[in-house]
Structure 1
Amino acid sequence: MSAIQKIIFEDFPLRNGVVQSNIMLSYQLFGQPIGTAPLVLVNHALTGNSQVTGENGWWKSLIGENKTIDTNKCTILAFNIPGNGYQDEENQVENYKDFTTYDIANLFWKGIDSLKIIQVFAVIGGSLGGSIAWEMAFIRPNTIENLIPVATSWKASDWLIGNVLIQDLILNNSKNPIHDARIHAMLLYRTPESFQKKFNSKLQNENGMFQVESWLLHHGEKLQNRFQLSGYKLMNHLLKTTNCFKPLNQSDVLRSLTSNIHLVSVDSDYFFTANEIKTAFLEIKTEKNNVFYHEIKSIHGHDAFLMEYEQLNTILTPIFN
């Protein structure tokens, strides 16, 4: 496993004017040494981390030796969003409402600069990680060759903002906040059809508990055992802060982007809907020719970007070949 490395920034200004002192950015590198191969930045989602490949890698079906994103041919860089708690419980962020996806994107660029990286072959991320990828592209429109936001959008929808509010209320008011928030979130990440196919209303035991209830309780306990409350509050809050055009003109920003843009949606996703991603594609298409729309077909909703590996590999293979 690639060792976690750390960079400390003593004074980091946030978009709202707050100066964050001693913010730590941790990261992992996989594959080829920096400067010897195309650099691929992988941004993790809400409950993810920098371990993107290897035995415990959350995207190991996509990234690794002889995989679609091949560690024999690429340098893979993955940052941890500060406060996500991965192997560092001390790096907590209490003032979570001061942060936005813009700030995380800006921090990632500072990390890239610290590593003396000049050009980025691709930035890919799913869900929250994809929103941060969008922000990174707009901060430096000439640095990313291929921008690949998966199951995400460049602006938080009202539906998403509403659900973030519910999650925040649970996290701040429940007696069992991470556990209960995760159970609610799992209902957003899947679909009724996905649940029905998986459980079919079957009982788990003679006590009358349904399999779906047991499964949801298990996911609540699992996340509770590995996530800090402050980290979950931050990750949830970040979801609603994405607005890549604030305070910029959309047409001007899009025209300035040199990246090839590959938008990937899931047809059954109602967290970041296929319709809003398709709408973004059509808006970009009026300003740029090198934009492409791809759609994963699945009954599993938002989580399909972590489940439908064959479809995602098919979409990404031409880009990384």
Structure 2
Amino acid sequence: MKLENIPNPIIIQNFITESGASYPTLPLSFALFGLPLHTAPVVLVNHALTGNAQVTGENGWWNDLIGEGKTIDTTQYTILSFNVPGNGNDTFVIENYQDFTTRDVAKIFLQGIKALNVEQVYAIIGGSVGGGIAWEMLALEPNITQHLIPIATDWKSTDWMIANCFLQEQILNNSSKPIEDARIHAMLCYRSPESFKEKFQRTVNENLNIFNIESWLAHHGDKLQKRYQLASYKLMNQLLKTIDITRNKEDFETLITKTKAAIHIIGINSDLFFTAKENRETFEELKKFKENVFYSEIDSVHGHDAFLIEYKQLDHLLADIFKAETIKN
């Protein structure tokens, strides 16, 4: 696998956010994997809340899906991934997190694609908030991709999602241990009651004299606190709350009828965050006015995080999209 190290980020000039905040310069760091740019179809991968542009290779968070001989094969595609500006993976920090919405990040990513002289990508794929950014990109630039693959996400944040993000924001702004406590709450949304039951069976950590579920949650909180910045968490939570391709724009049907891209929605039957029911409703709405839309579902007890766990199912669900292109080439 070939990793192209890009020494300098793209500099986005004179960016005005939806809220009217002005940023004279915004650094957009990114990574490229697989075949060199402009020699193969490009797959854009959008990371989730605590993710980054390192989608494959050493410390790659989606290594089971992306790599040599994998579902998204780095010997057949160019893999592009941006860091959300302010996500903590470079020196740039955004303190005024409420300046930004998901659509702002989508605009920044689109400017990044343009700066790389890419007119259209083969696919945009992303899970959770990364998939929300993907939806926003398609609404802004209907011809930007041939395939949109939003996983465990939707084109809008529901009341349930907004409520959870509101609670996250309260914890992040008011707790004495904001990252740890917010992460503990978030893990309850990322997994499911059945997942916890299967994993822990009400067992006790004899050394700590607490339930194993408690020590596991505390471990995840402590682990994130050691590698993640508070400002980054606040920003990414804000993005999760503000997904809505129709806000101050046209209605859903009017926006999506502008694109010829195939839309492949992948839900998770146990997702407590972006529910499968909501995904199926989006699919049913799309089918009323668009032919090349598809819905599939990951069957898992593991909840929202299943898109990071159930690689064999994802391979099966995505094979036709990526391996057909491989055969064609």
Give the structure-2-normalised TM-score: 0.95
Q: Aligned pair 1:92/2:93, yes or no?
A: yes
Distance 1:221 1:17 in 2: 36
Partner of 1:28: 31
Cα offset for 1:18? 1.8
Cα offset for 1:67? 0.5
Structure 1 unpaired stretches of 5+: none
Alignment root-mean-square deviation, CA: 1.0
Structure 2 unpaired stretches of 5+: 324-329
1:48-87 to 2 correspondence within 5 Å? 48-86=51-89
Give the secondary-structure state (helix, strand or coil) at the position aligned to 2:81.
Answer: strand
Give the secondary-structure state (helix, strand or coil) at the position aligned to 1:256.
Answer: coil
Given candidates 314, 317, 321, the residue that maps to 2:316 is 314
Given candidates 284, 287, 290, the residue that maps to 2:289 is 287
Distance 1:122 1:207 in 2: 47
Partner of 1:201: 202
Q: How many residues align?
A: 319
**Aligned residues with identical type, % of pairs:** 54
1:1-321 to 2 correspondence within 5 Å? 2-4=4-6, 5-86=8-89, 88=90, 90-246=91-247, 247-321=249-323
Write the deviation string for residues 92-146 of structure 1: whole angstroms up to 9, x where unpaired.
Answer: 0011001001000000000000000011100000000000000000111012100
Distance 2:56 2:207 in 1: 40
What amino acid is aligned across from residue 24 of structure 2 in structure 1?
S
Give the secondary-structure state (helix, strand or coil) at the position aligned to 1:35.
Answer: coil
Give the secondary-structure state (helix, strand or coil) at the position aligned to 1:230.
Answer: helix
Cα offset for 1:250? 2.1
Distance 2:321 2:175 in 1: 44
Cα offset for 1:210? 1.2
Moved over 3 A (4+): none
Give the secondary-structure state (helix, strand or coil) at the position aligned to 1:315.
Answer: helix
What amino acid is aligned across from residue 114 of structure 2 in structure 1?
D
What amino acid is aligned across from residue 318 of structure 2 in structure 1?
L
Give the secondary-structure state (helix, strand or coil) at the position aligned to 1:124.
Answer: strand
Write the deviation string for residues 265-315 of structure 1: whole angstroms up to 9, x where unpaired.
Answer: 000101000000000001111110000000000011000010011001100
